[in-house]
Structure 1
Amino acid sequence: MERLRPGDVALLDIESGGPPMHVATVEVFEPGPEGFDHARLLALIGDRLAFVPRYRQRLLPVPGGLAAPVWVDDADFDLTYHVRESAVPRPGTMAQLEELVSRIIARPLDRSRPLWEMYLIEGLEDGRVAILAKSHQTLVDGVSTIDLGQVILDHDTVARERIPDDWVPRREPSALSMLAAAAQTRAAAPDVTAPARAVARAALRHNPLALGVRAGRSAPESPLQTTLSQQRRFHTVRTDLDDYRQVRRFHGATVNDVVLATVTGALRFWLMTRAESVHSSRQLRAMVPMSVLDNDLEPTSLGSQVTGTVLALPIGESSPVVRLHQVSYALKAHKDTGKAVSALRLIGVGGFAPTTFHALGARVAADSRGREFNLVVTNVPGPQFPLYAAGARMLETYPAQPLLPDHAMAIGVTSYDGGVYYGITADRDAIPDVDVVGQCLSEALAELVDTTSETRMRAPRGRTADGPLDG
């Protein structure tokens, strides 16, 4: 039997007394000629579930909590429980979709069942549908399990042959056998089977952030640090990849640099709308999970190819160009290690990998080892060509990252088929103006693009310093 790892026990412990620790993705589709409904999604997932056997397993606690829970096959697995249907009033807007997603991602997953859900959401304008997928972080490790959302997408509309699936649930271990296995393993490696609560405490001692403890250099003060409510807000922003490429070519940065500079400018503008001070030396610190290359790893070992980098975001800098160069310079150390992975390599790993990499990024952020930061920003490149689910073309994809304790906002970014898609998850009470954050992202990108025009470059320095609505 496979036992839950200590880091995953800590994730469950965080969730028991705080925010849910699942990751989610919202994807918008244009149905094909044959349409796309709940029955079609159900059949697609049923056909692909063999690729992710963990999605048919649940956690079984060891009697008395004497060891970490174990993964067991769900003898009563019910696909229709996990694959659900919902709708917004026709013709549904993105704002209505965001409100529905906000409510769904706020609900924790049922621990007595496999830890995932997927929703087909109908009623969007122009006949579109959306898929909302929720997977707990303990499911997706990038080694034995990738995200379910990664395996339901194809590069074309060609119908695939059904995958032979003769899955039969294995018998659940008895309480006596679980206790015997725990005792046997403890004798061989005492630290492996320490009681689950002790395991969680040990992991949390290495991760004070999980308990809301400020260790070492504390994160800069901001509205982003607060006690969380149980409810969430979710907001989406769609931008064009060509804008980032234009800024990259003109200023000599990377697309990732431009994305992070855009986030920096947006946070500056948002704080200004709240009458917050953004003096010249003010910074916010972002946990930015980065992909690294290790030639000793197998190509499918994605979990070990993501590491956490704490980046100082210079929100006090008034010039968008200087902000960009400061972000680029701060990331240069990571690039100079020689282990940074190119976007082309990432998008070639296992099909549409962003769903899995966002989940791995969330795991890295949760296992922060006491490093202090204000928010998490995950940015994952996707393929620049269309993908399909059962013949329906995916138009947009937005990550919904979980909130860590005392962290009121998280931002996920995915580039795909000519677009760059932001998903902003926020605490409902702490950040009621999450839509303003979205507007500020658009304004910050427009400001950077504006610096690439010849007339703008000849303009007096400082014209772009005043706020998000400056042209």
Structure 2
Amino acid sequence: MAQEHLDRLTAVDASFLVQEKESSHMHIGGLIIAEGPPPAYDDLLDSIRSRLHLVPRYRQKLAVPPLESGRPVWVDDPNFFLEYHVRQTALPSPGDEGQLTELAARIFSQRLDRDKPLWEMWLIEGLSGGRFALISKNHHALIDGISGVDLGQVLFDLTPVPTQFPTAELEPWRASRTPSPVRLISSGVLGAARTSSRLAAAVLRAASNPARAAGVAKEAMTGVADIAWATMNPAPETPLNVEIGPHRRYVTIRSDLRDFKEIKDTLGGTVNDVVLTVMTAALRNWLHSRGVRTEGLELRALVPVSIRAKDEQGNLGNRLTVMRGALPVYIDDPYERHRAVCAAMGDLKESKQAVGAEVLAGAQNFAPPTILAQASRLNFSTRLFNLLITNVPGPQFPLYVLGRELLDVFPIAFLPENHAFATAIMSYNGKINFGLLADYDALPDLGRIGEEIEAALAELLALARAERAGASGNGAAAPPRIGAS
């Protein structure tokens, strides 16, 4: 066997393992619909097998040091079997998209086996219209949304002609030697030593430029203070924050990216501000359908933010911080609601909360696993937020799998403990698609939220077009824009 190698999980990655419970699964993924006919199962296997050398983490599993002496490490799985991870099934007739999303929900109701590499891919045949689907499922400790886009561009092609990799010239893959318990313990000690060395180097750099170091420290402390304030001001109690079970519901929504850009170009803000405004209106109306009064009610959304540098694109693991954004469901007027969301997100960016979250994540790199567990519980505490909303920018050009074009990409998020609803949004090739994930028992009316999202988008688009038509009709200037695009 090849020589062993150990790659220790980051503090953020390890926190996703700590947070995972029987009912709160920490895997994410996507539902992809492609033009048909579906490829043969063996052809899909061969295509993935020829690319696995580009994503070696897909052949690795977790190894936990004895006595929690350090964070888990990634090691090669000597029993790796591709057919276990790539699975094939078919929808019964008529093969509609409702059946497809029900299947996706069932797949995401099952935890990944931690004794194996933490991913699955499903080939789904029998979809109406001559199409087929792929469902990907990856543990959040393995991959975050931004790097997932990069990996998709490795697994998929940019042209209808599949990329040919010279598999015949590659050496057959051999698993590295499985580390002994003593070696795992020593890896934790070495990892802590390396972290201490990096800290010492940072101290020396700070000593050589005290003015810059003071500015960075001031900004970081401001960010930590903002997070402390958020902790002492809990999110409100809502039907979204209840005890959840292991079973899931999943609903998808298609929309046009041009509509979101038209709204932000007319009313101001960013595309993400428009997304949050639409979600705010949808949740307001859904709460009303549940008999919940929204006067004075402001929901808190946990919004993951990637801090992955450009030279880190394609790397596995998580480079994430989080911000807690306000969703003003108390506002009835759609224009005022949009202004409030834009202002809140602008204040959030100015508040240095993301900087503070990054500082805390960095500090966790020094923490033993037991302290790390407490810190990760704080990050996902129901006291801090009501729901997760993540918006991932995808490629704005078509991708292909074995010569077939990917028509739609719907992301799938995860549900932390005591959080019954999460929304993931992804733009791809001119579309912006929503994936709504919910606890099966807590939100039997998940479809109602989907309908409210479509209605809220239509309302905001009509408002933007009316504003533009009014401005052009009377010769007045366009309405003042809010924020930056």
Contact kept in structure 2, 1:366 and 1:404, CA below 8 Å: no
Q: Distance in 2 between matches of 1:144 and 1:93?
A: 31
Instruction: State the match for 2:129 in structure 1.
Output: 126
Aligned CA distance change for structure 1 residues 456 and 443 (closer, same or farther; 3 Å) = farther
Instruction: State the match for 2:55 in structure 1.
Output: 52
Aligned CA distance change for structure 1 residues 309 and 7 (closer, same or farther; 3 Å) = closer
- Structure 1 counterpart of 2:174, one-letter code: V
Aligned CA distance change for structure 1 residues 365 and 181 (closer, same or farther; 3 Å) = closer
Task: Give the match's secondary structure for 2:379.
Answer: coil
Aligned CA distance change for structure 1 residues 240 and 173 (closer, same or farther; 3 Å) = same
Contact kept in structure 1, 2:60 and 2:74, CA below 8 Å: yes
Aligned CA distance change for structure 1 residues 319 and 220 (closer, same or farther; 3 Å) = same
Instruction: State the match for 1:273 in structure 2.
Output: 289
Instruction: State the match for 2:138 in structure 1.
Output: 135
Shift of 1:321: 1.0
Contact kept in structure 2, 1:253 and 1:328, CA below 8 Å: yes
- Structure 1 counterpart of 2:72, one-letter code: P
TM-score after normalising by structure 1: 0.78
- Structure 2 counterpart of 1:315, one-letter code: V
Shift of 1:86: 1.4
Candidates 4, 18, 28, aligned match of 2:33: 28
Candidates 81, 87, 90, aligned match of 2:90: 87
Shift of 1:98: 0.8
Contact kept in structure 2, 1:244 and 1:258, CA below 8 Å: yes
Q: Distance in 2 between matches of 1:229 and 1:58?
A: 26
Instruction: State the match for 2:110 in structure 1.
Output: 107
Instruction: State the match for 1:307 in structure 2.
Output: 321
Instruction: State the match for 2:225 in structure 1.
Output: none
Q: Distance in 2 between matches of 1:51 and 1:435?
A: 39
1:56-78 per-residue CA deviation (whole Å, 9 max, x = no partner) reads 01112334444433321111110
Shift of 1:293: 7.9
- Structure 2 counterpart of 1:218, one-letter code: P
Task: Give the match's secondary structure for 2:464.
Answer: coil
Matches within 5 A, 1:233-382: 233-279=249-295, 281-291=296-306, 298=312, 306-333=320-347, 368=379, 372-382=384-394
Q: Distance in 1 between matches of 2:243 and 2:74?
A: 32
Instruction: State the match for 1:451 in structure 2.
Output: 463
Instruction: State the match for 1:10 in structure 2.
Output: 15
Matches within 5 A, 1:363-442: 368=379, 372-442=384-454
Matches within 5 A, 1:130-209: 130-140=133-143, 148-164=151-167, 165-166=170-171, 167-182=173-188
1:257-308 per-residue CA deviation (whole Å, 9 max, x = no partner) reads 11111111110111111111121x211111112345868x655569786432
Q: Distance in 2 between matches of 1:154 and 1:365?
A: 37
Shift of 1:215: 4.7
Higher helix share: 2
Contact kept in structure 2, 1:37 and 1:120, CA below 8 Å: no
Contact kept in structure 2, 1:7 and 1:367, CA below 8 Å: no
- Structure 2 counterpart of 1:328, one-letter code: C
- Structure 1 counterpart of 2:397, one-letter code: F
Matches within 5 A, 1:58-73: 58-73=61-76
Query: Any gaps of 5 or more consecutive residues in structure 1?
Result: 193-213, 341-363, 459-471
Q: Distance in 1 between matches of 2:147 and 2:399?
A: 24
Shift of 1:186: 6.6
Shift of 1:415: 1.2
Contact kept in structure 2, 1:399 and 1:422, CA below 8 Å: yes
Q: Distance in 2 between matches of 1:320 and 1:17?
A: 40
- Structure 2 counterpart of 1:318, one-letter code: D
- Structure 1 counterpart of 2:74, one-letter code: W
Aligned CA distance change for structure 1 residues 5 and 242 (closer, same or farther; 3 Å) = closer
Task: Give the match's secondary structure for 1:265.
Answer: helix
Task: Give the match's secondary structure for 1:421.
Answer: strand
Shift of 1:11: 2.1
Q: Distance in 2 between matches of 1:256 and 1:240?
A: 14
Shift of 1:395: 0.7
Instruction: State the match for 1:348 in structure 2.
Output: none
Shift of 1:145: 8.8
Query: Any gaps of 5 or more consecutive residues in structure 2?
Result: 1-5, 199-229, 355-374, 471-485
Shift of 1:27: 0.6
Instruction: State the match for 2:226 in structure 1.
Output: none
Q: Distance in 2 between matches of 1:218 and 1:335?
A: 20
Q: Distance in 1 between matches of 2:297 and 2:134?
A: 39
Larger CA Rg, structure 1 vs 2:
2
Aligned CA distance change for structure 1 residues 187 and 251 (closer, same or farther; 3 Å) = closer
Shift of 1:89: 1.0
